[in-house]
């Protein structure tokens, strides 16, 4: 990780509140992002995987980001996810992120069609930057092969760097593979390497990683910041691992949204975009008890 960089710490991968008309609920999104920042997060990230980024159009996401800026949200602490299979859509989002003053853009590789080579993936990123007008906004590579089908090996990272140069400032590694993450840290000391997995966060940071971009931050932002700091005991780490395992075991994203709704006492956070369906209320209540929190402790 580059010495002196501000791009480190905990980044809250925000869930996206949705209106009854299936539009982005911007006031609730701003309120939630601000709450994570106030709890100690360095940045937040709208419209990534946790934010159902693939379920909204480029127009919807750009309009929401503009509305966030217009409402006074600090866009310099926003790292939007760009999940788009089409170069044009990704480029429009990237250009908007730059124009709105975002800190960086977290861009997933093209999905649906399997890339033919590392060079083809690198060409996608180059085409996005060029079509956007080369705005110069920092780019974070999004390593999430479960959804994209593309794994960022060192060779692939180098191929993208050969096209984009210093625009690439980091990698979000959502594989949960500790050894793979440690290899990225060793090979690319100039990049900010983030994990998406609470269970390996302390080891990633101890090895020189930048921190975490994660979904559990929605529920436990202050604990995530403490975990990232590394001065925690085995019981603290065990509790963090239990939380992510419980959420993943009962539905992942829909669980997060239901529990965020419980956190705020506001059912407006529960709604999901099709094809996801909101979690049944009784299950979310039992999960809240299992996780050991109440509205007051959140």
Fold of the domain built from segment(s) 9-229: TIM Barrel (3.20.20)
37-46 per-position pLDDT tens digit: 999 999 999 9
Q: Mean pLDDT, 10 residues at a time, over the chain (298 residues)?
A: 94 98 98 97 98 98 98 98 97 98 97 92 98 97 96 98 98 97 98 97 97 96 96 94 88 91 90 92 72 55
Task: Give Cα separations from 177 to 78, 84, 121, 146, 202 (angstroms).
Answer: 26, 25, 21, 12, 14
Is 269 noted as a catalytic residue in this protein?
A: no
pTM here?
0.94
50 is in an annotated binding site: yes
Is 69 noted as a catalytic residue in this protein?
A: no
DSSP 8-state class, residue 108: P
Candidate list 61, 163, 172, 257, residue with the active-site label? 172
143-186 per-position pLDDT tens digit: 999 999 999 999 999 999 999 999 999 999 999 999 999 999 99
- Walk across the sheet containing 192-195 and list its strands: 43-45, 9-13, 211-214, 192-195, 168-173, 139-143, 105-107, 81-82
Q: What is the pLDDT of residue 294?
A: 57
* Whole-number Å distance between alpha carbons of 122 and 160: 4
Q: What is the pLDDT of residue 43?
A: 98
Candidate list 94, 125, 142, 269, residue with the active-site label? 142
Q: What is the pLDDT of residue 280?
A: 79
44 is in an annotated binding site: no
* Whole-number Å distance between alpha carbons of 175 and 147: 10
């Amino acid at each position: 990780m580059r010495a002196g960089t501000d791009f480190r710490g905990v980044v809250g991968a925000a869930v996206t509140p949705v209106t009854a008309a299936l539009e982005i609920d911007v006031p609730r999104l701003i309120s939630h992002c601000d709450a994570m920042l106030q709890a100690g997060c360095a940045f937040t990230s709208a419209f990534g995987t946790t934010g159902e980024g693939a379920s909204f159009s480029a127009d919807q996401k750009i309009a929401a980001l503009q509305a966030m800026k217009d409402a006074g949200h600090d866009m310099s602490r926003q790292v939007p996810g760009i999940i788009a299979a089409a170069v044009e859509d990704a480029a429009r989002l990237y250009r908007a992120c730059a124009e709105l003053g975002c800190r960086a853009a977290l861009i997933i590789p093209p999905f649906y069609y399997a890339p033919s080579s590392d060079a083809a993936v690198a060409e996608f990123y180059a085409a996005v930057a060029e079509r956007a007008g080369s705005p110069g906004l920092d780019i974070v590579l999004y390593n999430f092969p479960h959804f994209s089908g593309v794994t960022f090996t060192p060779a692939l990272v180098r191929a993208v760097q050969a096209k984009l140069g210093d625009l690439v400032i980091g990698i979000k590694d959502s594989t949960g593979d500790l050894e793979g993450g440690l290899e990225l840290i060793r090979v690319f000391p100039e990049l900010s390497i983030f994990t998406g997995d609470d269970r390996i966060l302390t080891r990633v940071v101890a090895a020189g990683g930048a921190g975490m971009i994660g979904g559990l931050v929605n529920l436990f932002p202050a604990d995530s910041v403490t975990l990232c700091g590394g001065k925690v005991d085995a019981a603290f780490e065990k509790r963090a691992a239990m939380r992510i395992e419980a959420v993943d075991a009962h539905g992942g994203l829909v669980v997060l949204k239901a529990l965020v709704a419980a956190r705020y006492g506001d059912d407006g956070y529960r709604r999901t975009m099709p094809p996801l369906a909101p979690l049944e209320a009784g299950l979310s209540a039992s999960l809240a008890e299992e996780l050991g929190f109440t509205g007051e402790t959140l």
